[in-house]
């Protein structure tokens, strides 16, 4: 089966999750990847949405974190102060999926502004849950399309810290943190190391043994496509 | 003791120019109708507080109701940016907008401290990121272990406004589903307004519900559909098409202004 770069990215990100994980999920690509993991190899992975749904099991892909089905299918629905204090801060969530507008070589993320804070070129939505997700979970996974505008030498604003960023999955390949520096470890089928290098705004560290990402299986692709067509009306 | 009044009366009585006003509802039960009433009554110079300013705050900001925004994530959920919010921050249109920016965890702790009538909240957060210099946060040491923690000053709005599913005839309120930070908003605020889908003879207990006794609320107003285009669990679903349409309506200043004229200013007050 043929597949797109975005599909490869979602499938590869879903493979990071295991049955033992409790995962904090945002809307967009992370939600797609996490729900795909639940439908394929990690049906027992617990999904937590910051709106308060703990252990949500949506049958369709939610359009917003407030989607009613998240509350209807959750193990528990909690208030926002409880979510951040008793669940996230207390260490009950071990994986966090984050996106951003910019990332640097240490995995620090910017989702606040492009340009100067006081007189920004682009005002972005802001950090939301990300600053404390990035410092409270054990493993942070980032999903971000790889371009020189997004993979920058110097962030315009550090919204969240990169210390716990273990892996970054892009539309070109996968990076892992090695000695605090994001290092290219896999490229997706059809992508070269030079492609990844050219899409990075810093001198990209390359692992000695860069492998090719395992292409999506038929089961993975079918599950992904059925999820994508299921977005609730 | 909650008085049952119309929304227009509640806003006229309890909200004044220059007030700090929090409208809460975390993706669910968003008090959209109350936000429209603030616009219709032409309130000015407000400090608007909300963890997740979305479409209704985009409208208030675009109409120049706000002097300052206290928030932790400002976007059109599932769609993208808020264009009126961006225009205000990037180009000071229609007026400059001062920002006090938090993380969700920090702002939730600040609401909880306000609800408890404590001067500050404590959390493990704001760890060496650039938000620290843009928000109100201080480092403190735990007096028992010495652990370094973050302190955030309590949020104490003049007025807290929320939307709930039901109230009874004594003004007791019940909301359920995703209940967000609404309980803390009412307790942290000096005055409070609750709009409800319906007023019923008796509140039937619901799993996971938040119940607010009428005597902690100032005004209850029956506003069916008061959360639209957001959703009200058990009553109606989210109007996803509107959120997508808002991206187009709000991009252009004139289109935005005409939309507000037609759908808010000339709309019959509830």
Question: Do residue A158 and residue B129 have CB atoms under 8 angstroms apart?
Answer: yes
Beta strands in B201-237 (DSSP E): 210-212, 219-222
What tens digit of pLDDT does each residue of A54-83 get?
999 998 888 777 777 888 899 999 999 999
Q: State residue A27's pLDDT score.
A: 76
Contact B28, A51 (CB under 8 A): yes
pLDDT higher than 80, residue B30: yes
Task: State how far the Cα of B178 lies from the Cα of B166, in Å rounded to an integer.
Answer: 15
Q: Would residue A68 count as lying in a domain?
A: yes
pLDDT higher than 50, residue B222: yes
A120 at interface of B, judged by CB pairs closer than 8 A: yes
Residue A202 pairs in a beta bridge with none
Question: Do residue A123 and residue B86 have CB atoms under 8 angstroms apart?
Answer: yes
- Residue count of chain B, please give it: 270
Q: State residue B136's pLDDT score.
A: 92
Reading phi first (left if > 0) and then psi (alpha if -120 to 50, else beta), residue B164 is in beta
Task: State how far the Cα of B69 lies from the Cα of B46, in Å rounded to an integer.
Answer: 9
Question: Do residue B81 and residue A124 have CB atoms under 8 angstroms apart?
Answer: yes
CATH number of the CATH domain containing A224:
3.40.1080.10
Residues of B in contact with A130 (CB under 8 A): 103
Q: CA dist A210 to A153, A193, A206, B177, Å?
A: 22, 8, 7, 47
pLDDT higher than 60, residue B58: yes
**B269: pLDDT confidence band, cut at 50, 70 and 90?**
low
Distance from CA of B90 to the nearest CA of A (A): 6
Q: A181: domain range?
A: 5-228
ipTM tops 0.90 = yes
pLDDT higher than 60, residue A224: yes
- Residue pointed to by tokens 């409800």: B196
Q: Would residue A33 count as lying in a domain?
A: yes
The domain total for chain B is: 1
Mean pLDDT of B72-100: 95
pLDDT higher than 50, residue B34: yes
Question: Do residue A132 and residue B111 have CB atoms under 8 angstroms apart?
Answer: no
Q: State residue B77's pLDDT score.
A: 87
Contact B76, B240 (CB under 8 A): no
**A233: pLDDT confidence band, cut at 50, 70 and 90?**
very low
Catalytic annotation on A7?
no
pLDDT higher than 70, residue B133: yes
Q: State residue A180's pLDDT score.
A: 93
What tens digit of pLDDT does each residue of B169-206 get?
999 999 999 999 999 999 999 999 999 999 999 999 99
CATH number of the CATH domain containing B62:
3.40.1080.10
Residues of A in contact with B27 (CB under 8 A): 51, 64-67
Contact A129, A50 (CB under 8 A): yes
Q: Which residue has the higher pLDDT, A71 or A92?
A: A92
Q: Which residue has the higher pLDDT, A29 or B38?
A: B38
Q: B98: domain range?
A: 3-102+155-265
CB-CB: which of A112, A120, A132 is closest to B90? A120
Distance from CA of B88 to the nearest CA of A (A): 10
Task: State how far the Cα of B260 lies from the Cα of B250, in Å rounded to an integer.
Answer: 10
Taking Cα atoms as reference points, which of A156, A233, A158, A168 lies closest to residue A205?
A168
> Which residues of chain A from 36 to 75 reach within 8 Å of chain B, CB to CB?
50-53, 63-68, 70-71
Task: State how far the Cα of A151 lies from the Cα of A202, in Å rounded to an integer.
Answer: 7
What tens digit of pLDDT does each residue of A94-133 get?
999 999 999 999 999 999 999 999 999 999 999 999 999 9
Task: State how far the Cα of B168 lies from the Cα of A212, in Å rounded to an integer.
Answer: 63
Distance from CA of B74 to the nearest CA of A (A): 4
Q: Would residue A56 count as lying in a domain?
A: yes
Q: Would residue A233 count as lying in a domain?
A: no
The domain total for chain A is: 1
Residues of A in contact with B111 (CB under 8 A): 81
- How many angstroms separate the first and last alpha carbons of chain A? 28
- Tally Cβ neighbours within 10 Å of residue A183: 18
What tens digit of pLDDT does each residue of A130-156 get?
999 999 999 999 999 999 999 999 999
> Which residues of chain B from 183 to 242 reach within 8 Å of chain A, CB to CB?
183-184, 208, 210, 230-231, 233, 237-238, 240
Distance from CA of B168 to the nearest CA of A (A): 23
Question: Do residue B129 and residue A160 have CB atoms under 8 angstroms apart?
Answer: yes
Q: Would residue B150 count as lying in a domain?
A: no
Residues of A in contact with B183 (CB under 8 A): 79
Q: Would residue B134 count as lying in a domain?
A: no
């Amino acid at each position: 089966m043929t597949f797109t770069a975005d599909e490869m990215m979602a499938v590869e990100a879903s493979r990071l999750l295991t049955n033992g994980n409790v995962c904090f999920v945002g809307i967009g690509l992370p939600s797609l990847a996490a729900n795909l993991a639940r439908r394929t190899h990690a049906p027992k992975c617990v999904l937590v949405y910051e709106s308060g749904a703990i252990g949500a099991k949506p049958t369709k892909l939610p359009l917003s974190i407030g989607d009613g089905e998240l509350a209807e299918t959750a193990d528990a629905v909690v208030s926002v102060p409880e979510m951040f204090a008793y669940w996230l801060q207390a260490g009950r969530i071990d994986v966090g999926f984050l996106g951003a507008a910019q990332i640097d070589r240490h995995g620090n993320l910017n989702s606040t502004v492009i340009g100067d804070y006081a007189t920004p070129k682009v005002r972005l939505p802001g950090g939301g849950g990300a600053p404390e997700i990035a410092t409270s979970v054990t493993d942070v996974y980032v999903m971000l399309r790889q371009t020189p505008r997004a993979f920058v030498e110097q962030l315009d604003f550090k919204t969240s810290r990169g210390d716990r960023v273990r892996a970054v999955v892009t539309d070109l390949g996968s990076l892992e943190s090695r000695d605090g520096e994001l290092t290219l470890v896999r490229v997706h089928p059809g992508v070269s190391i030079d492609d990844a290098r050219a899409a990075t705004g810093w001198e990209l560290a390359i692992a000695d043994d860069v492998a090719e990402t395992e292409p999506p299986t038929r089961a993975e692709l079918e599950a992904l496509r059925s999820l994508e067509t299921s977005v609730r009306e | 003791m909650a008085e049952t009044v119309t929304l227009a009366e509640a806003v006229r009585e309890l909200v004044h120019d220059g007030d700090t006003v929090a409208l809460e509802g975390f993706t669910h039960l968003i008090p959209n109708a109350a936000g429209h009433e603030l616009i219709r009554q032409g309130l000015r110079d407000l400090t608007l507080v909300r963890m997740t300013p979305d479409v209704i705050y985009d409208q208030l900001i675009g109409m120049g109701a706000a002097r300052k925004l206290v928030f932790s994530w400002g976007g059109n959920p599932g769609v993208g940016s808020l264009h009126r919010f961006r225009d205000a921050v990037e180009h000071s249109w229609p007026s400059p907008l001062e920002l006090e920016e938090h993380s969700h965890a920090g702002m939730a702790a600040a609401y909880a401290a306000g609800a408890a009538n404590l001067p500050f909240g404590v959390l493990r957060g704001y760890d060496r990121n650039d938000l620290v210099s843009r928000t109100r946060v201080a480092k403190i040491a735990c007096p028992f272990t010495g652990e370094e923690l973050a302190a955030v000053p309590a949020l104490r709005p003049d007025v807290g406004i929320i939307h709930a599913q039901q109230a009874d005839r004594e003004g007791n309120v019940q909301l359920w589903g995703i209940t967000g930070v609404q309980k803390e908003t009412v307790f942290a605020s000096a005055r409070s307004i609750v709009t409800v889908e319906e007023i019923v003879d008796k509140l039937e207990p619901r799993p996971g519900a938040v119940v607010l006794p009428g005597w902690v609320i100032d005004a209850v107003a029956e506003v069916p559909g008061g959360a639209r285009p957001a959703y009200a669990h058990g009553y109606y679903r989210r109007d996803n098409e509107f959120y997508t349409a808002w991206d187009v309506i709000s991009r252009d200043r004139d289109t935005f202004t005409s939309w507000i004229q037609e759908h808010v200013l000339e709309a019959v007050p509830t």
